[in-house]
Amino acid sequence: MRLGIDIGGTKTDAVAVDESGALAERIRLPTGFGHAAVVETAVAAVSRLGELTGLAPGGFQSIGVGIPGMVDATSGHVAHAVNLGLDRLELGGMLAGRLGVGVRVENDVKAAALGASHLLGLTGTVAFLNLGTGMAAGIVVDGRLWRGSTGIAGEIGHLPVDPEGPLCACGQRGCLETLASGSGIARQWPTDDPFPVRALYAASEGGDPAARAIAARLAVGIAAAVRVLVLTVDPATVVIGGGLSHLGERLLGEVHEVLHDWERTSPFLASLDLPGRVRLVPEGSPVAALGAALVGEN
């Protein structure tokens, strides 16, 4: 039995996975804010899953954690997880000290890439495109994460596509993330709705021209991210996940439409079959927690 924990900004999703890779138990907890609270949240998740499975921490084959921010997968050090109130935290070491067993820590998007690849039974090279507050991708090659030389592989949200565009949180202008992410939509379409893209689509369906233009740019931005991933790492499948993926088939259809438009004017892109490579993560699937369980051995 393997245990995986996905520590999010507001909730923590934790799973126990059996030897066949199937989900055995799943729990959700509110995530604490700050160094001590985040550690306590993870410990509580292990304790609760231990009660459900009848296993002590040392009885699990492996324990893995996925968390936002800059993560050193070797040391378990986490930095710049702003939404969790973390500047620098030796999460792996602190959890190992509390639990008495080794714990592997990985960036949450990279963990989700591993989980999506496993859940969908994908082989070869797979890209997981996470469209949440920001935009980032995780790359899996032959069942193993590809992190790059410094762990920055997949940070395509910070590729500038418009030098005169809005200022990005990274300090550059016109990054992909400013077009196709939750924060990008919230900036372009201010609303009291906690899910701004929902309000945007409602206004677009109501005929608002500004909303339609923003929704169109969103589809173009996501399509551009797919194109970047295919042209750089050539994945057989690009799986779209994250908060914006809850828009479902409508979003996927609009992205496909953009990709097909590009194919009509570019025989080169047409030869790559970009639309045929893109799919959505199954709704409600705990891919990040599942991937965290697998990270324990990856």
The answer to whether residue 288 scores a pLDDT higher than 70 is: yes
**Beta strands in the chain, from DSSP E residues, in sequence order:** 2-7, 11-17, 23-30, 62-67, 70-72, 77-81, 86-90, 104-107, 125-131, 135-141, 144-146, 237-241, 278-280
Mean pLDDT in residue range 135-161:
93
Instruction: Please give the DSSP secondary-structure letter assigned to residue 167.
Output: B
Q: What is the average pLDDT across 129-149? A: 94
- The candidate with the shortest Cα–Cα distance to 290, out of 128, 81, 78, 70, is 128
- Closest Cα partner for 125 from 275, 230, 281, 268? 230
Q: How far out from the chain centre does Cα 201 lie?
A: 22
Taking each helix axis as running N to C, give the angle between helix 287-295 and helix 108-119, from 0 to 180 degrees, rounded to the nearest 10: 100
Task: Evaluate if residue 151 carries a pLDDT over 90.
Answer: no
3-class SS at 121?
A: coil
> Average pLDDT in the 44-60 region?
96
Helices (H), 189-248: 196-205, 209-233
| Whether residue 68 has pLDDT greater than 80 | yes
Q: For the segment 91-105, what is each residue's pLDDT rounded down to a tens digit?
A: 999 999 999 999 999
Nearest to 68 by CA among 130, 156, 139, 15: 130
For residue 15, which amino acid is it? V
The reported pLDDT for the residue numbered 296 is 67
DSSP state letter for 232: H
In this prediction, residue 297 carries a pLDDT of 67
Average pLDDT over residues 246-262: 95
Query: Dihedrals φ, ψ of 44, to 5°?
Result: -65, -35
| 8 A C-beta contact, residue 208 and residue 243 | no
Query: Which residues contact residue 196 at a Cβ distance below 8 angstroms, ignoring those fewer than 6 apart?
Result: 182, 185, 186, 189, 190
What residue type is 262 in one-letter code? W
Residues shown for the chain: 298
Nearest to 244 by CA among 187, 296, 283: 283
Give the pLDDT of residue 298.
Answer: 59
Rounded Cα–Cα distance for residues 2 and 22 (Å): 10
Looking at residues 216-233, what average pLDDT do you find? 97
Is the pLDDT at 267 greater than 90? The verdict is: yes
Question: What is the percentage of the chain residues whose pLDDT exceeds 70?
Answer: 99
